[in-house]
Amino acid sequence: MKKPKISVIGAGYVGLCTAVGFASKGYNVVACDVDEEKIAKINKGVPPFHEPGLQEKLSESIQKGNLKGVVGQTDQVIQETDLTFIAVGTPSKSDGSIDLKYIESAVINIGKALSQKDAYHVTIIKSTVVPGTTQNIVKSKLEKESKKKCGTDFGLCINPEFLRQGSAFEDTLNADRVVIGSYDKRSGDTLERLYKAFYSFHMPLIIRTTLSTAELIKYASNAMLATKISFINTIANICEKIPGADVKVVAKAMGLDKRIGPLFLDAGLGYGGSCFPKDIKALIVCSKSLGYDPELLDSVEAVNKTQPLKAVDFCKEQLGCLEGKKIAILGLAFKPDTDDMREARVIPIINQLLKEGAHVVAYDPVAMPIAKTIFLSKIQFATSALRCIKDADGCIVVTEWDEFKKLTPEDFTKNMRHPILIDGRRIYNPEIFGTKLQFTALGLGKK
């Protein structure tokens, strides 16, 4: 059977991984983005952001002619393709609700193009949108602009993504589940057929449901994961008050209970990134607007807000006043294997250290170019982890990059002025590090 042609609007990590995923399996894909520089890179086979595994498949797809990047979203792209995924951003507004301007502009353009198209076309929302958006805003705009009827003349689905940055391409090829919310049966069947052919023998479980249930599945999943993190951080904070207690052991034992599971129980300095903070806020605002106050989610957010500042408190406990002290920061990205610094926990940490008069030196294997645009000349950047800790009075591990895990107690004692180490991500063995330097680990009760 002939493969359908696909267009993807928005070439961020979700859109581009989706586009390259389909292109790598022989589909003809057009990736559209308003950012000319990004499209120029894509057409040269160079990913515009750091995402493991993407480079090879992107350049291969461009070379084979399966993928092309297009600036903007031309009518022609909609005319020439059968399905369009919308994967544009839905950033937070100041009140925490989501800004739909990019979705609306993409939908208006698609609607206009559909008014000129006779063949059946399905629009699929991949962006994260609050329940009701696809039905109330996307559908009505598509109908208004195309002067056609959804469900009869064209199709509409919502297909939330569950990709993690740093393994987004891998997650695209090996999903846990595919959620398809559809306006009508034909739209859903068309998308289900596409995924069945794409995944072939490795087809994950498909959940077919309504538009609003699919929209909520995405928020509920992220809210559950964020809740697990704030929960284990709460347990970590309790552990610190109990001599001999260790959150790592508590989490390991809890995780063996099949009803709880071992993942997302790593205590640390809290969650960051472009998804959890934004999605929790949006779900709270959405729920309140519907007349229900989700107190649990307010607490999840509150724990996450104070958690990073504990690193600064630990520093003060060890060093007293931080004025003029050199503090080394290992890790800037919101998690390892990405250069993304959106809502990175290091931002409130560094801001607080600067406020206390500390002199901050930071190192990250890939996020420094982005960090330089955030902190400008307010902090210094080192070219390696060892140079970063050189002559430091204290060191905080903020992101658990593999290369930091390889550092030994001697690396710290030999290089630092005062070997004070704060392990904010629990990467070091307290039995070893605790005896050789002044070591504070999150979620570890004092002896």
What is the nearest approach in angstroms of ligand UGA to the Cβ of residue 21?
14
Nearest-approach distance from CB 275 to ligand UGA, in angstroms: 3
Element holding 34 (H helix, E strand)? none
Q: How far is the CB of 289 from ligand UGA (least distance, A)?
A: 21
Strand bridging mode 380-381 / 83-86: unpaired
CB 246 within 8 A of CB 445: yes
DSSP states of 218-287 as a string? HHHHHHHHHHHHHHHHHHHHHHTTSTT-BHHHHHHHHHTSTTT-STT---SS---SSSHHHHHHHHHHHH
Nearer to ligand UGA, 62 or 300 (CB): 300
CB of 105 to ligand UGA, least distance (A): 21
Nearer to ligand UGA among residue 48 and residue 272 (C-beta): 272
- Closer CB to ligand UGA, 26 or 261, in the complex: 261
Binding site for ligand UGA (CB under 6 A): 128, 161-165, 222, 225, 229, 264-266, 268, 271-273, 275-276, 334-335
Name the minimum Å distance from CB 249 to ligand UGA: 15
Q: Is 136 helix (H, G, I), strand (E, B) or coil?
A: helix
- Rounded to the nearest whole angstrom, what is the least distance from the CB of residue 396 to ligand UGA in the complex? 15
| Nearest residue (CB) to ligand UGA, 150 versus 422 | 422
Which C-beta is closer to ligand UGA: that of 198 or that of 271?
A: 271
Closer residue to ligand UGA, CB minimum distance, 142 or 265: 265
CB of 56 to ligand UGA, least distance (A): 21
Q: Which is nearer to ligand UGA, 42 or 87 (CB)?
A: 87
Maximum Cα interatomic distance, the chain, rounded to a whole number of Å: 74
Residue type for position 135: Q
Residue with smaller CB distance to ligand UGA, 128 or 187: 128
The strands making up 83-86's β-sheet, listed across from edge to edge, are: 67-71, 29-33, 6-9, 83-86, 122-125, 155-158, 177-182, 205-209
Q: How far apart are CA 129 and CA 126, in angstroms?
A: 9
Task: Name residues whose C-beta falls within 8 Å of residue 250's C-beta, 6 or more positions apart in sequence.
Answer: 235, 239
Q: Hey, is 199 helix, strand or coil?
A: helix
d(CA 244, CA 246): 7
Q: Is 286 a catalytic residue?
A: no
SS3 for 346?
helix
Q: Which residue among the candidates 275, 286, 315, 395 is catalytic per the annotation?
A: 275
Q: How far apart are CA 158 and CA 181, in angstroms?
A: 5
Q: Which helix (H) or strand (E) holds 353?
A: helix 346-355
d(CA 312, CA 356): 9
Q: How many helices (H) and strands (E) does the chain have?
A: 20, 14
Smallest gap from residue 334 Cβ to ligand UGA (A) = 4
Nearest to 11 by CA among 53, 58, 76: 58
Q: Which residues participate in catalysis according to the annotation?
A: 275
